[in-house]
């Protein structure tokens, strides 16, 4: 472990920023969701980095929780996206991007 | 885990709701008449938890290996959440029927969202904050889109989901940085090391990201964009819960986690951030609300401006400000639930009767509704002697005590602007002729819920001193 | 430059490049596949950090669960609407300002911090430690996680049914 801790943190910071940029610029709901997964992954990377440089398992436990929560959110999110597309099919709305922030 | 009977006794509110939602699942599965039983069972659970929290408000303890706190301001938050949720459940009995179908999961998700809020308010560890937040949010995402046949509801829940998950990303990253600098997720550790770490930029960045995440949840200005659409698209009762319980829970999480900042013992280094988003939210909410025609959207913008007033109390950074915020949250919960309750009563099938026009001339046909709505509007506008006035008063006084007089003056200015759109509705109801042929069957349970919330607003307005003293006693 | 450095730079490059492509590619299916590489790269870095359990969970939950769900979402929604799978982007200027602000905060704080480099021993297996924490100190959180999964199940089922 002779790689400085900053390298890991900068990597995670970069992923976080890419995720934020994706959420703010893309308008497809699924891509936005993928960008959010990137943000969560970068947070996990930071947590694991701190955890192993400090020799403290709590951070890794937190990552375990974040992953489980992300899975739960993914299930709900995909259900919402499906419900939305089903309605659009029946309501025949031409415009695919009704999402305006 | 639980060392003695006292600890068991102290967490009865959480146990009740945790058990209550599991029993509700069984009721929903095995009883044919679950649509009659379940709402009343839910209300019973909420009231039992709320009264227990009120009764046990003095039994302060920390349980589950330093994970959860009980008693004191935690119980005051429990009271706000459970009584608010009981009012929401009472309103929903007839409101849900307007959708034509019965949703059993509605009451189950209502209970779990309250469970999440209670965990946030009682948290002693960032794990609890995170889990409570997610329990609340996942229930909210589903509740917002429960009426899945309507595109508006789908859109509301999709927006709420995407921005909620975005906020979660910020919160988790913030927690990661806090963990990295504090070397622990325990809130007590954060509090005790806050002063020595307040020059550590990484720690401050973590706190800032954490706050940005929660700024989405409290609907403060640059992070408010989901609010109007979500309130408009979700069921009206649930929108009421989002604007009251959801906001109160997010504030409780901020107060619990960063409580040491607001005791006045160390300088409030986050004051600039809090003050700036507070001013922006107040003015943005008040000004944009004027141009709204849909009553739910108007209440959404009013909710943004109230987030601004609440943030003044946090920016003040003294214990008086925090007590003011909690008092404000209690009064805001009941007055806003009353407002959304009246909107839910007047709302017709297929989300009709939601424009301001529907309210004109209401006083001549439904004088009781008009009178109740006027009281709520006066209270929201901050006109004495109702609860809303004292909430604002305590928050502004706290700001002045911290030499933030300019912030208090801006708050008063924004309140004056907001009087316009609140009182416009009162004028419409009393001094205009009816423009639409409004016919509603006023549901008895819904009316009872509104009357209870108005009574609570009046009671809080009569005895603000005792309540604020009680809160200030527990938050030292 | 020893083997650790090479492995780190390899996985970091995979992660950074694929993360970048996830948000810039115009095709949703490609984005999902790039996300696979990001998750894989992060899992590799977890191994390098000595977090063996988390690395496995990353592969199982993210790649095996979440990514499959996302791909299902992509396939189902595209079939239904039969529209092109290219997607546009909006709000580039405010996004750039926001991201630049965040980048400033994060980078300033990371560069400024003086890291205490503690020489740690070669990491041992972490699974036992995490398991002990999970059933002792954090047992209540673990049980609440079960409630959360149940709620997600109820919510998803109520939303996705016809």
Q: Where residue A76 sits, what CATH number does that domain have?
A: 1.10.287.3510
Looking at the structure, tell me whether residues C83 and C130 fall in a common domain. no
Looking at the structure, tell me whether residues C142 and C82 fall in a common domain. no
Note if the pTM is more than 0.90: yes
Is residue C89 pLDDT above 80, yes or no?
no
Is residue A100 pLDDT above 60, yes or no?
no
Domain boundary among C88, C116, C135: C88
Looking at the structure, tell me whether residues C10 and C58 fall in a common domain. yes
Is residue C80 pLDDT above 60, yes or no?
no
Residue A71 lies in a domain: yes
Residue A70 lies in a domain: yes
Residue C114 lies in a domain: no
Residue A38 lies in a domain: yes
Looking at the structure, tell me whether residues C26 and C79 fall in a common domain. yes
pLDDT at residue C108 in the model: 75
| Relative orientation angle of helices B367-381 and B444-462, to the nearest 10 degrees | 40
> Does B166 contact A23 at a Cβ distance shorter than 8 Å?
yes
> Does B175 contact A62 at a Cβ distance shorter than 8 Å?
yes
Q: Which two tokens stand for residue B209?
A: 């990201």
How many CB atoms sit inside 10 A of residue B247's CB?
23
- Residues B333-364: pLDDT tens digits? 999 999 999 999 888 777 777 888 888 888 88
CA nearest to C135 within chain A: A61
- Spatial contact of B278 and B255, defined as CB atoms under 8 Å apart: no
Residue A31 lies in a domain: yes
For B126-137, the DSSP string reads HHHHHHHHHHHH
Confidence category of residue B237, pLDDT binned at 50, 70, 90: very high
- What distance in Å separates the CA atoms of residue B408 and residue B403, rounded to the nearest whole number? 10
Which domain CATH number covers C48? 1.20.120.1200
- What distance in Å separates the CA atoms of residue C143 and residue B119, rounded to the nearest whole number? 13
Q: Higher confidence at residue B99 or residue C62? A: C62
Q: Which chains touch A (3 or more CB pairs under 8 A)?
A: B, C
* Three-state secondary-structure class, residue B66: coil
* Minimal CA separation from A60 to chain B, in Å: 11
Looking at the structure, tell me whether residues C18 and C69 fall in a common domain. yes
Looking at the structure, tell me whether residues C62 and C140 fall in a common domain. no
Is residue C90 pLDDT above 60, yes or no?
no
> Does C49 contact A14 at a Cβ distance shorter than 8 Å?
no
* Minimal CA separation from C116 to chain B, in Å: 11
Cα C76 to its chain centre, rounded Å, is 23
Confidence category of residue C122, pLDDT binned at 50, 70, 90: low
Domain count, chain A: 1
- What distance in Å separates the CA atoms of residue A60 and residue A68, rounded to the nearest whole number? 13
Is residue C117 pLDDT above 70, yes or no?
no
Is residue B451 pLDDT above 70, yes or no?
yes
Is residue C5 pLDDT above 50, yes or no?
yes
Domain boundary among C41, C59, C88: C88
- What distance in Å separates the CA atoms of residue B260 and residue B188, rounded to the nearest whole number? 9
Share of chain B above pLDDT 90, in %: 52
Residue C113 lies in a domain: no
Looking at the structure, tell me whether residues C76 and C129 fall in a common domain. no
Residue C120 lies in a domain: no
Cβ neighbours of C103 in A, within 8 Å: 13, 17
ipTM summary value? 0.92
Q: Which two tokens stand for residue B194?
A: 């806050």
- Residues C13-69: pLDDT tens digits? 999 999 999 988 888 888 889 999 999 999 999 998 888 899 999 999 998 889 998
Confidence category of residue A89, pLDDT binned at 50, 70, 90: low
For chain A, the DSSP string reads --S-HHHHHHHHHHHHHHHHHHHHHB--HHHHHHHHHHHHHHHHHHHHHHHHHHT-THHHHHHHHHHHHHHHHHHHHHHHHHHHHHHHHHHT-S-S-----
Query: Which residue range forms the structural domain that includes residue C137?
Result: 125-162
Query: Which residue range forms the structural domain that includes residue A67?
Result: 5-91
* Three-state secondary-structure class, residue B68: strand
Looking at the structure, tell me whether residues C76 and C141 fall in a common domain. no
Domain count, chain C: 2
Residue C84 lies in a domain: yes
Is residue A97 pLDDT above 70, yes or no?
no
Looking at the structure, tell me whether residues C76 and C23 fall in a common domain. yes
Q: Residue B360 is inside which H or E element, if any?
A: none
């Amino acid at each position: 472990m002779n790689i400085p801790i900053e390298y890991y943190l900068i990597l995670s910071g970069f992923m976080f920023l890419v995720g934020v940029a994706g959420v703010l610029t893309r308008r497809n709901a699924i891509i936005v969701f993928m960008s959010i997964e990137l943000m969560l992954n970068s947070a996990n990377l930071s947590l694991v980095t701190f955890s192993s440089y400090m020799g403290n398992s709590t951070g890794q436990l937190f990552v375990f929780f974040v992953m489980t929560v992300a899975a739960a959110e993914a299930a709900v999110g995909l259900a919402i996206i499906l419900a939305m597309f089903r309605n659009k099919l029946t309501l025949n709305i031409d415009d695919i991007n009704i999402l305006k922030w | 885990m639980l060392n003695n009977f006292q600890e068991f006794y102290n967490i009865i509110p959480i146990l009740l709701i945790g058990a209550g939602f599991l029993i509700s699942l069984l009721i929903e599965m095995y009883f044919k008449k679950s649509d009659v039983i379940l709402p009343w069972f839910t209300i019973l659970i909420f009231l039992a938890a709320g009264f227990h929290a009120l009764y046990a408000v003095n039994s302060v303890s920390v349980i589950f290996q330093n994970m959860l706190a009980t008693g004191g301001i935690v119980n005051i938050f429990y009271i706000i959440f459970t009584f608010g949720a009981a009012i929401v459940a009472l309103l929903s009995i007839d409101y849900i029927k307007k959708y034509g179908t019965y949703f059993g999961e509605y009451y189950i998700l209502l209970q779990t969202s309250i469970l999440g809020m209670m965990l946030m308010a009682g948290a002693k560890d960032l794990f609890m904050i995170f889990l409570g937040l997610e329990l609340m949010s996942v229930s909210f995402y589903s509740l917002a889109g429960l009426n899945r046949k309507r595109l508006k509801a789908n859109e509301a829940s999709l927006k709420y989901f995407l921005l909620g998950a975005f906020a979660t990303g910020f919160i988790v990253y913030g927690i990661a940085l806090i963990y990295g600098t504090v070397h622990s997720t325990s809130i007590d550790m954060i509090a005790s090391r806050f002063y020595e770490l307040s020059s550590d930029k990484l720690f401050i960045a973590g706190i800032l990201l954490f706050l940005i995440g929660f700024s989405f949840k409290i609907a403060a200005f640059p992070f408010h964009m989901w609010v109007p659409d979500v309130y408009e698209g979700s069921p009206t009762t649930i929108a009421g819960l989002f604007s009251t319980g959801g906001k109160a829970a997010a504030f409780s999480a901020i107060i619990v986690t960063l409580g040491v900042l607001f005791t006045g013992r160390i300088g409030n280094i986050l004051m600039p951030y809090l003050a700036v988003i507070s001013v922006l939210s107040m003015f943005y909410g008040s000004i944009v609300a004027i141009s709204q025609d849909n009553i739910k959207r108007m209440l959404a913008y009013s909710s943004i401006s109230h987030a601004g007033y609440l943030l003044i109390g946090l920016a003040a950074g003294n214990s008086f400000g925090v007590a003011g915020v909690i008092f404000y949250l209690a009064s805001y919960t009941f007055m806003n639930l009353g407002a959304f309750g009246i909107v839910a009563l007047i709302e017709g099938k297929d989300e009709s009767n939601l424009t301001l026009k529907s309210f004109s001339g209401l006083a001549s046909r439904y004088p009781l509704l008009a009178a109740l709505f006027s009281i709520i509007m006066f209270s929201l506008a901050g006109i004495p002697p109702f609860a809303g006035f004292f909430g604002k008063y305590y928050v502004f006084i706290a700001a002045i005590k911290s030499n933030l007089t300019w912030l208090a003056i801006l708050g008063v200015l924004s309140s004056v602007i907001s009087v316009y759109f609140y009182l416009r509705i009162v004028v419409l109801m009393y001094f205009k002729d009816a423009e639409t042929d409004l016919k509603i069957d006023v549901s008895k349970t819904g009316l009872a819920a509104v009357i209870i919330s108005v009574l609570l607003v009046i009671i809080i307005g009569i005895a603000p001193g005792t309540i604020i003293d009680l809160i200030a006693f527990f938050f030292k | 430059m020893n083997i650790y450095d090479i492995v780190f730079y390899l996985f970091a490059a995979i992660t950074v490049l694929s993360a970048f492509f996830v948000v810039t590619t115009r095709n949703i299916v490609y984005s999902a596949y790039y996300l696979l590489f990001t998750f894989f790269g992060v899992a590799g870095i977890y191994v390098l950090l000595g977090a063996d359990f988390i690395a496995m969970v990353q592969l199982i939950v993210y790649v095996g669960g979440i990514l499959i769900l996302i791909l299902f979402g992509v396939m189902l929604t595209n079939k239904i609407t039969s529209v092109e799978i290219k997607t546009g982007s909006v709000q580039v200027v405010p996004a750039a300002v926001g991201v630049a602000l965040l980048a400033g905060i994060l980078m300033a704080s990371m560069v400024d911090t003086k890291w205490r480099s503690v020489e740690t021993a070669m990491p041992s297996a972490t699974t036992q430690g995490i398991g002990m924490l999970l059933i002792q100190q954090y047992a209540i959180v673990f049980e609440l996680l079960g409630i959360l999964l149940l709620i997600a199940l109820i919510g998803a089922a109520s939303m996705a049914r016809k």
